[in-house]
């Protein structure tokens, strides 16, 4: 796959762009308090759906069957974070994309079979356009963690639980909160590509769209603001925000809610067309590798990367919490840990409704 060279060159591009941002903005920010989405839910009528069922999970689920599961996963995540820091944010994003589509069941991890979907259609969730930007490093990390766990506890721990543990590990490794991960999820027996588009936010989603989507998952407006704080680390490709720079909502001009300095810097890296598809920009132009609460201060300074991020400060329903979390890192950390626990409980599979895969990219029994 040429994986290490590819990852190294991508990381160098990320690092160079980050240092450009840091050089460009640091003098301007003195005195200021301190994945990514996929197309549009806007304009579609929301259908009232039942709130997802939440099954009882437990931090001690494997206490007798695989008591060392967290240490085994941690041995992989620590090494990956040291070698490939970008794998951290990528894995957190992978967890989000898994949970929001039919629940936290590792359905996003299933790889397409050699036969594909036929007729050019996506065969599994990760084939869908909205998921094609999910980083290979995240999938590889979960497979590595699963192999480590299988070597000590064969056929016991699910990929869904390993993904939840790994996401928590990366949050903490990047400087964020360390919280208990409840376990007991089964892996899904299916991966449903047609369920993806309607269940993920889009670059041009409105706050109304986002609130409706989160409510449909049993989450609140507060959870929306808090979990969006995961964008305190990580990067986004230009195609996720380029319309903000040149033709915001069909105006033939930039988004007025973007700081002119940020606009200039982003335009230098992301031309209107014909740019390098591998170029990425940090969600947090201040501390993209540190899990902190700077994301919210950036929104107050009109330096949110995605329109959906910046909209959280512009909307009167979400602005107060953005301002509150921007002032109090401890409050953000506590709220984020609680939000991840809630999200991690969405429509989990239990008992015979799921399986325990041996390889996360293959259903049990698949060749």
Residues 166 and 81 in one domain: yes
Mean of pLDDT over the chain? 86
Closest CA to 37 of 218, 262, 244: 244
pLDDT for the residue numbered 365? 75
Q: Is residue 166 part of a domain?
A: yes
Is 80 found in the same domain as 190? yes
* Per-residue model confidence (pLDDT) at position 204: 84
For residue 314, is it within any domain? yes
**Residue-wise pLDDT tens digits, 309-327:** 999 999 999 999 999 999 9
Is residue 100 located within the same domain as residue 26? no
251 and 177 assigned to the same domain: no
Asked whether residue 16 is domain-assigned, the answer is: yes
pLDDT computed for residue 40 by the predictor? 39
- What integer pLDDT is reported at residue 122 of this predicted model? 77
- pLDDT at position 114: 56
Domain of residue 16, residue span = 3-43+203-341
Co-location of 234 and 275 in the same domain? yes
Query: Which regions in the chain score pLDDT beneath 70?
Result: 1-55, 114-120, 367
Binding-site residues for heme b, in ranges, read: 231
Say whether both 183 and 211 belong to one domain: no
Same domain, 21 and 106: no
Same domain, 139 and 262: no
Q: Terminus-to-terminus CA distance in the chain, angstroms? A: 21
In a domain, 122, yes or no: yes
Q: With helix as H, strand as E and coil as C, how does the chain read?
A: CCHHHHHHHHHHHHHHHHHHHHHHHCCCCCCCCCCCCCCCCCCCCCCCCCCCCCCCCECCCCCCCCCCHHHHHHHHHHHHHHHCCHHHHHHHHHHHHHHHCCCCCCHHHCCCCCCCCCCCCCCCHHHCHHHCCCCHHHHHHHHHHHHHHHHHCCCCCCHHHHHHHHHHHHHHHCCCCCCCCCECCEECCCCCHHHCHHHCCCCCCCHHHHHHHHHHCCCCHHHHHHHHHHHHCCEEEHHHCHHHHHCHHHCCCCCCCCCHHHHHHHHHHCCCCCCCCCCEEECCCCCCCCCCCHHHHHHHCCCCCCHHHHHHHHCCCCHHHHHHHHHCHHHHHHHHHHHHHHHCCCCCECHHHCECCCCCCCCCCCC
Please indicate, yes or no, if residue 58 is contained in any of the structural domains: no
Domain contains 31: yes
Largest CA distance in the chain: 61
In this structure, what token pair is assigned to residue 255? 């988004």
Q: What is the dihedral of CA 310, 223, 99, 70, to 10 degrees?
A: 110
- pLDDT at residue 276, as a whole number: 82
In a domain, 337, yes or no: yes
Number of domains in the chain: 2
Distance CA 367, CA 363 (A): 9
Q: Which of 55, 97, 172, 194 is catalytic?
A: 97
Tell me how far apart the alpha carbons of residues 201 and 210 are, in angstroms, rounded to a whole number. 7
Whether residue 233 is found in the same domain as residue 327: yes
Distance between CA atoms of residues 205 and 43, nearest Å: 9
Residues 207 and 196 in one domain: no
pLDDT tens digits along 33-87: 334 444 434 344 444 455 454 558 999 999 999 999 999 999 999 999 999 999 9
**Cβ partners under 8 Å of residue 48, min gap 6:** none
The CATH number given to whatever domain includes residue 188 is: 1.10.520.10
**Burial of 263 (C-beta count, 10 Å sphere; 0-12/13-18/19+):** middle
Active site residue 97: yes
Residues 30, 137: Cα–Cα separation, whole Å: 35
For tokens 């894995």, name the residue. 91
Q: At residue 305, what are phi and psi to the nearest 5 degrees? A: -75, -50
Task: Find the CATH number of the domain harbouring 336.
Answer: 1.10.420.10
Residue positions in the annotated binding site for Ca(2+)?
98, 101, 103, 105, 107, 125, 232, 284, 287, 292
The whole-number pLDDT of residue 115 equals: 53
Q: Is residue 93 part of a domain?
A: yes
Looking at the fold, whether 326 and 213 belong to one and the same domain comes out as yes
Q: Is the domain of 208 the same as that of 167?
A: no
> From CA 255, how far away is CA 349, in angstroms rounded?
42
């Amino acid at each position: 796959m040429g994986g290490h060279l590819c990852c190294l060159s991508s990381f160098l591009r990320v690092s160079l762009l980050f240092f450009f941002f840091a050089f460009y903005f640091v003098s301007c920010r003195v005195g200021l308090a301190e994945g990514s989405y996929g197309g549009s839910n806007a304009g579609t009528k929301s259908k009232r759906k039942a709130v997802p069922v939440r099954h009882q999970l437990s931090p001690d689920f494997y206490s007798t069957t695989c008591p060392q599961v967290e240490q085994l996963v941690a041995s992989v995540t620590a090494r990956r974070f040291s070698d490939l820091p970008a794998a951290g944010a990528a894995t957190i994003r992978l967890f989000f994309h898994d949970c929001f589509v039919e629940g936290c069941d590792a359905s996003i991890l299933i790889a397409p079979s050699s036969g594909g979907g036929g007729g050019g259609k996506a065969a599994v969730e990760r084939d869908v356009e909205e998921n094609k930007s999910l980083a290979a490093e995240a999938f590889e990390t979960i497979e590595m963690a699963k192999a480590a766990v299988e070597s000590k506890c064969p056929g016991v721990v699910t990929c869904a639980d390993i993904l939840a543990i790994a996401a928590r590990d990366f949050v903490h490794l990047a400087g964020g909160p360390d919280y208990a991960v409840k376990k007991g999820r089964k892996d899904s027996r299916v991966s449903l590509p047609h369920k993806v588009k309607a269940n993920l936010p889009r670059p041009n989603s409105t706050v109304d769209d986002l609130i409706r989507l989160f409510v449909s998952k049993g989450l609140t407006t507060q959870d929306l603001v808090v979990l969006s704080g995961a964008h305190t680390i990580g990067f986004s490709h230009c195609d996720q925000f380029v319309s903000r720079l040149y033709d915001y909502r069909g105006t033939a001009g930039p988004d007025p809610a973007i700081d002119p300095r940020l606009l200039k810097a982003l335009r230098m890296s992301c031309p209107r067309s014909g740019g390098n598809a591998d170029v990425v920009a940090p969600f947090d132009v201040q501390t993209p590798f540190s899990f902190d609460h700077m994301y919210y201060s950036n929104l107050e300074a009109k330096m949110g990367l995605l329109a959906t991020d910046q909209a959280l400060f512009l909307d009167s329903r979400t602005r107060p919490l953005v301002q509150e979390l921007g002032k109090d890192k401890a409050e953000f950390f506590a709220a984020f840990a609680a939000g991840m626990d809630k999200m991690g409980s969405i429509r989990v599979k239990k008992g015979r409704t799921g399986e325990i895969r041996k390889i996360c990219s293959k259903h049990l029994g698949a060749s």
